[in-house]
Structure 1
Amino acid sequence: MNLRVLVLITAVGVALTLSAVNFYFQHKWYDVMITFTATLVVSYIVFYYLIEKYIYSRIKLIYKLIHNLKLGRDLRDALGEHVSANPIDDVEQEVKEWAKQKKSEIDELRKQEKFRRDFLSNISHEFKTPLFAIQGYIEALQDDDFDDRELARQFLDKASKNVDRLSYLIKDLDEISKLESGEIPINYTKFKINDLIKEVFESLEIKGKQYKIKLVFKQKYDDGIIVYADREKIRQVLVNLIDNSFKYGKEEGNTSVSIFVLHDQVLVEVTDDGIGIEEKFLPRLFERFYRTDTSRSRQIGGSGLGLAIVKHIIEAHQQTINVRSTEGLGSTFGFTVELAKQNLPFPHIPVLKS
């Protein structure tokens, strides 16, 4: 409803009221018609002037300010901006949209604040654990005064391991911070993903034997599958996922890697037959420091940032990572990488089925 229609309705209402009063006392239709017409005209002019000057013009100004401030414009520009002929509806719509946007921003800020509190709490705990251990071993050495050299050597070895743990934690924190800020660039190259998997298997073979876990990569993946990604970062993804399968696998178990060629992507899956993960934990699995089994995780070690780093690397490639798991049966982590274009100077890439 625009201004003229609003004023006309108001003027008609006033004119009808006065005409009814006139008819009640005069009972003359001629006087009633004159009263109605005169009142309608005068009321329309007066109301239009008053509403336009003291209400509508200010609503227009409010609309200009809201609309332009939403766009981040300067106030001086806002005051000179043209607005539509019906600013009341526009103001209502703008305010609703603005309120919705601000509510969304407030909700997001609350989430970030909760994340910040959780993060500070987690990082404080992660640092305190090795620091207190180191402090305890040093105090024990000071009290013993190195009289028992064998015990002193054991304490020094344990302190050294906790120093290493702190070093890994700081290194991983620095890396994940750089990944988030984009300081670490993605150096795309073309390489054979199956050759990289074999290299990773060779580098982790001894560690797998320590955990009594067998690494499995089927022969049918010997044909070259060429992808376009950052080779070293994908290596880190594979190492972190396989290392994770060692920590939560079972003795005499298996960790296998499978490859599936999709339309323009390659899906790589790392599967273990370990303890598995409860479904309720899966949505938070890639959060920093999140551990599904705290006591077991502390015994195993690690910074608690491995899966978070994996997620950031894959997302930096504009690809996806997912997990599926059944408690007691094992877990499968799958991530995608871009398949190299066939028109690049490489041999034909076969489409594999697993």
Structure 2
Amino acid sequence: MNLSARWIAFLLALFITVLTVVFLNFVPDTKAEMLVVTGVICFLATYFTTYYTVDVLIFQEVDQIYKSVKKLKIKDFNIKKKPLLNSQNPLKLLNTEISDYVTEKQKEIEELKRMETFRREFLANVSHELKTPIFAAQGFVHTLIDGAIDDPEVAIRFLNKAAKSLDGLDALVRDLVVLSQVETGELKMQFEVLDLVRITEDIFEQLEDKATKRDTKLKIKPAKIQECLVVADPQRIYQVLMNFIENAIKYGKDHGKVTVVFEEQKKHYTIAVEDDGPGIPQEHINRIFERFYRVDKSRSRETGGTGLGLAIVKHILSAHNSSVSVTSKPGKGTRFSFSLLKAD
């Protein structure tokens, strides 16, 4: 039963009417007609008096609360006065609205706290990543100014080191710009039909020297595949595959192999990049797509990279309505895979 003003008035009127009639029934010379008339008058008077009193008082309180809510510029509430004879319990409705609002705002507060923590970590990471190449280049330049420039051999070596530090700084800034553009939607994807097999072969050529230094074999599977036509942004998908394959070479084992696998499905192609390296510990897998997160910080410094590659990849694939799946077993290698829509 919904204890609205109508029900409260009805029950109270019924109780008072029964009590009054029972009491009058014990009065001598009381006729039945008098009991009926008294009962009807008592019921109607009590019902309407109680109904209007409770209803008005309830809505007055609701109005006061609603005015307070409006002062806070909260638009989440949708409480309207219904016709007096058809209204539900307004306090119950208001309580429901407030409970829903508090729950929603609590979620927003938790998200804001999480984002604030993320922002502080990101700023600390950016500061550190920028400081490292700047200080390195600064040290080499000041050493040259202090007299090392007079020795041609030393000067060339220090200039090369300073240039390498500045190249790393340039790569970091460019990755930050790309990541910012992807996240804000400024970087629009240019979708067209492209052949992933050809793109993969181009990347193999680009990375041939790095693979040769580690005696890493680069393979495409199935070996007889001629083409893999998908709908995607050529430049960004090239960036995705380049990142996966280059990481597989850098973090795989010496004398190992890197395989790009194409699996045809009904409406999509699944593309996977596999290596047979040491793998990624399970506790790191959920965090490798965070900005600047490094599984092995010391080795990451040695092999280069800005720490933003996988974060950019994640956003690029998200813009293609795809996501990255990662499976890894310690000592047996890692597999990164994603899907793209097949070309008609």
Residue 7 of structure 1 is matched in structure 2 by 9
Equivalent position of 2:147 in the other structure: 144
Aligned to 2:341: 338
- Give the residue type in structure 2 aligned to 1:182: G
Q: 1:5 to 1:140 in 2, by over 3 A?
A: same
SS in 2 for 1:340: coil
- How far 1:155 sits from its partner (Å)? 2.0
Query: 5+ unaligned residues in a row in structure 2: which ranges?
Result: none
User: Residue type of the partner of 2:269?
Assistant: V
Instruction: Give the Cα separation in 2 of the matches to 1:127 and 1:212.
Output: 33
Q: Size of the alignment, in residue pairs?
A: 332
Q: What's 2:207 paired with?
A: 204
- Aligned to 2:245, the other structure's residue is in SS state helix
CA distance in 2, matches of 1:184, 1:285: 23
Task: Summarize the Cα distance change of 1:81–1:45 in structure 2 as closer, same or farther, 3 Å threshold.
Answer: closer
1:121-136, aligned counterparts within 5 Å? Answer: 121-136=124-139
TM-score (ref. length: structure 2) = 0.84
The change in CA–CA distance for 1:302 and 1:18 in structure 2 (over 3 A counts) is: farther
The runs of 4+ residues in structure 1 deviating greater than 4 Å are 10-20, 26-30, 33-43, 60-67, 69-73, 78-84
SS of the residue corresponding to residue 232 of structure 1 reads helix
Deviation of 1:80 after TM superposition, in Å, equals 7.7
Q: Which residue does 1:245 correspond to in 2?
A: 248
Provide Cα deviations, 1:164-192, integer angstroms capped at 9, x if missing partner.
Answer: 11100000010111111222221111122
- Distance in 1 between the 2:263 and 2:176 partners? 32
Could you say which residue in structure 1 is the equivalent of 2:167?
164
Counterpart-to-counterpart distance in 1, 2:229 and 2:67: 56
1:104 equivalent in alignment to 2:107: yes
Distance 1:220 1:326 in 2: 25
Q: State the distance in 1 between where 2:294 and 2:18 align.
A: 76
Distance 1:14 1:246 in 2: 89
SS at match of 1:119: helix
Query: C-alpha separation between the residues in 1 aligned to 2:56 and 2:47?
Result: 14
* 1:287/1:307 contact within 8 Å kept: yes
Secondary structure at 1:89's aligned position in 2?
Answer: helix
* Aligned amino acid, residue 8 of structure 1: F
1:292 paired residue among 292, 295, 318 = 295
Please give the secondary structure, in 2, of the residue aligned with 1:163: helix
| Equivalent residues of 2:278, 2:330 under 8 A apart | yes
Correspondence list, 1:10-49, <5 A = 10-11=12-13, 42-49=45-52
Partner residue in 2 for 1:345: none
Match of 1:325 among 324, 328, 332: 328
**Aligned equivalents of 2:19 and 2:289: distance in 1?**
71
CA contact (8 A) 2:221 2:262 kept: no
Counterpart check, 1:192 vs 2:182: no
For the residues of structure 2 that align with 1:164 and 1:12, how far apart are their CA atoms? 89
Supply the AA of the counterpart residue of 2:91.
I
8 A contact 1:254–1:272 mirrored in 2: yes
Specify the alignment match of 1:351 in structure 2. Answer: none
Q: 2:304 aligns with which of 294, 301, 313?
A: 301
3-state SS of the aligned residue for 1:127? Answer: helix
Cα distance between partner residues in 1 of 2:294 and 2:48: 73
* Deviation (angstroms), 1:276: 0.8
Aligned to 1:352: none
Q: 1:112 to 1:10 in 2, by over 3 A?
A: farther
Q: How has the CA–CA distance of structure 1 residues 16 and 135 changed in structure 2, closer, same or farther, with 3 Å as cutoff?
A: farther
SS in 2 for 1:217: strand
Given that 2:79 and 2:94 are in contact with CA atoms closer than 8 Å, whether structure 1 keeps it comes out as no
Q: Residue type of the partner of 1:245?
A: A
Distance change in 2, residues 1:72/1:101 (3 Å): closer
Question: How far apart, in 2, do the equivalents of 1:72 and 1:40 lie?
Answer: 40
SS in 1 for 2:146: helix
* Paired AA for residue 189 in structure 1: E
- Judged with a 3 Å threshold, the aligned counterparts in structure 2 of structure 1 residues 288 and 50 are, in CA distance, closer, same or farther, namely same
Q: Decide whether aligned partners of structure 1 residues 219 and 58 sit closer, same or farther in structure 2, where only a CA change above 3 A counts.
A: closer
Q: How much has 1:120 moved relative to structure 2?
A: 1.0
Quote the offset at 1:72 in angstroms: 6.7
CA pair 3-126 structure 1, distance change in 2 beyond 3 A: same
